């Protein structure tokens, strides 16, 4: 029996509110089918929503190595890292990740969400009262990390370093330490941070710079190693996931030896969570071997995204400041984004609508995630469908 006033009754209220706001979310089963396609309810769609930017999720070498490492080492790691969960394979892969990222050390995490949610409070535990400065558009997992630390964020306008400097001056100078949180490529906007400016500012104010490269890893920077590799001395902490361009699952946090030692000793999400299993390690290992050589695919991504941005702009749509493989088509209201997404599905394209609270109110959008497995003809066809829809509306 469900009593009035029960927690379950509140679930119903919350779901009803989400319905009213047009924000009710549900799960649809889909399957990646290669060539930038996905199947949903028996329909083949050109997939502009998955983050498998380089098409590695179905790559035979990732699949083979994952299978091979599972056969050799087993399906599970057995325990958390500090108990019996650290194998030679974990240590070797972490050394390989550090070489890829150009850092002294790296640590594996179960997911990017878990890494951000767990590492941020661990860092802040070292300096109670530290001031935290966050770009307004940082990912939900970093907000979770700040909330877990119980800190109030000083939010700076998106990619606005003048605003950040003002906040550092006003709120940071007397704090025991300063932490800046940002992304190198923003997940919903596809724009790029001014990393050089940020590093300079962080040095000037003795702030610790934490950069999430979830969407840059594999795609941007030398050999696809991310934008932090373009900085001669890197950044203080760089994290990213293996679940997007790298094709599989899991995440890394990379930086100095001191940082990684501290995390091993202070981060609950590292200490109390079972180590990633061999199958996942194998897929990551293969991706790090393959990705540096995928320059042709990275070039193709650049050309496809230029084509899409140009086409959308010609039709008068805003793509914000996108300059990467993530191209938003900002339409404003959530209903409009939803209707356009539904229409495109009838035309054979999957482009998920992104709406509040994921993006700020009034900036609902279709987020097109491009893949090296798309072709110029896919972009042409998508643009034609959008153009037709526009004609139907006028």
Q: Which residues bind ligand PMP (CB under 6 A)?
A: 111-113, 116, 139, 141, 183, 187, 212, 214-215, 241, 243, 251
The rounded distance, in Å, linking the Cα atoms of 177 and 41 is: 52
Nearest distance, CB of residue 159 and ligand PMP, angstroms = 14
Q: How many CB atoms lie within 10 A of CB 199?
A: 20
Q: Report CA torsion sign: 262, 265, 268, 274.
A: positive
Looking at the Cβ atoms of 47 and 183, the one nearer to ligand PMP is: 183
Q: Of 195, 124, 186, which is closest to residue 164 (Cα–Cα)?
A: 195
Q: Of the listed 154, 244, 300, 325, which one is catalytic?
A: 244
Please say if 233 is a catalytic residue: no
Active-site option among 90, 101, 154, 215: 215
Q: Is 318 annotated in the active site?
A: no
**Residues composing the chain:** 394
Active site residue 187: yes
In degrees and rounded to multiples of 5, residue 52 shows phi and psi of -80, 65
Q: CB of residue 113 vs ligand PMP: minimum separation in angstroms?
A: 4
- Min. distance of Cβ 359 from ligand PMP in angstroms? 12
Concerning whether 143 is annotated as a catalytic residue, the answer is no
Residue closest to ligand PMP (Cβ): 112
- Which of 49, 111, 141, 187 does the annotation list as catalytic? 187
> Residue 136: helix, strand or coil by DSSP?
coil
The answer to whether 8 is a known catalytic residue is no
The residues, ordered by sequence, that sit 6+ positions from 17 with a Cβ below 8 Å of its Cβ are none
Among 59, 90, 105, 139, which one carries the catalytic annotation?
139
CB contact at 8 A, 215 and 243: no
Q: Residue 121 contacts by C-beta under 8 Å, 6 or more apart in sequence?
A: 145, 146, 148, 149, 268
- 183 part of the active site: yes
CB of 21 to ligand PMP, least distance (A): 22
Q: How far apart, in whole angstroms, are the C-alpha atoms of residue 255 and residue 242?
A: 17
User: Whose Cβ is closer to ligand PMP: residue 133's or residue 205's?
Assistant: 133
Nearer Cβ to ligand PMP (15/147): 147
Nearer to ligand PMP, 116 or 341 (CB): 116
CB of 251 vs ligand PMP, minimal distance in Å: 5
* Catalytically annotated residues: 51, 139, 183, 187, 212, 215, 244
């Amino acid at each position: 029996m469900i009593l009035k006033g029960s927690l379950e009754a509140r679930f119903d209220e919350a779901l009803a509110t989400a319905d009213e706001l047009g924000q009710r979310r549900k799960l649809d089963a889909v399957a990646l089918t290669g060539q930038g396609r996905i199947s949903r309810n028996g329909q083949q769609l050109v997939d502009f929503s998955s983050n498998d930017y380089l098409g590695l999720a179905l790559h035979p070498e990732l699949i083979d190595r994952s299978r091979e490492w599972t056969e050799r080492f087993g399906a599970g790691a057995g325990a958390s890292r500090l108990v019996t969960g650290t194998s030679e394979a974990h240590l070797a892969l972490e050394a390989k990740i550090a070489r890829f990222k150009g850092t002294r050390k790296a640590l594996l995490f179960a997911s990017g969400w878990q890494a951000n949610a767990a590492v941020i409070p661990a860092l802040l535990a070292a300096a109670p009262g530290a001031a935290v400065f966050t770009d307004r558009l940082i990912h939900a997992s970093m907000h979770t990390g700040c909330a877990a630390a119980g800190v109030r964020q000083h939010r700076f306008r998106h990619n606005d370093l003048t605003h950040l400097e003002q906040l550092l001056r006003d709120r940071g100078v007397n704090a025991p330490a300063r932490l800046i949180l940002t992304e190198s490529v923003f997940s919903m906007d596809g724009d790029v941070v001014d990393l050089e400016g940020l590093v300079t500012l962080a040095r000037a104010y003795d702030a610790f710079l934490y950069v999430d490269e979830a969407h840059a890893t594999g795609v941007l920077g030398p050999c696809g190693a991310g934008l932090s590799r373009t900085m001669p001395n890197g950044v203080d902490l760089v994290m990213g996931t293996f679940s997007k361009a790298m094709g599989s699952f899991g995440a890394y946090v990379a930086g100095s030896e001191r940082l990684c030692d501290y995390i091993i000793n202070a981060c609950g999400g590292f200490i109390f969570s079972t180590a990633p299993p061999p199958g996942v390690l194998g897929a990551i290992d293969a991706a790090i071997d393959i990705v540096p050589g995928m320059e042709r695919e990275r070039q193709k991504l650049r050309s496809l995204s230029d084509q899409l941005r140009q086409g959308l702009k010609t039709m008068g749509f805003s793509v914000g400041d996108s300059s990467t493989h993530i191209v938003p088509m900002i339409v404003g209201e959530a209903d409009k984004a939803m209707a356009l997404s539904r229409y495109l599905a009838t035309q054979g394209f999957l482009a998920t609508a992104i709406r509040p609270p994921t993006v700020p109110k009034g900036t609902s959008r279709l987020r097109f995630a491009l893949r090296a497995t798309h072709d110029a003809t896919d972009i042409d066809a998508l643009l034609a469908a959008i153009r037709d829809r526009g004609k139907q509306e006028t």
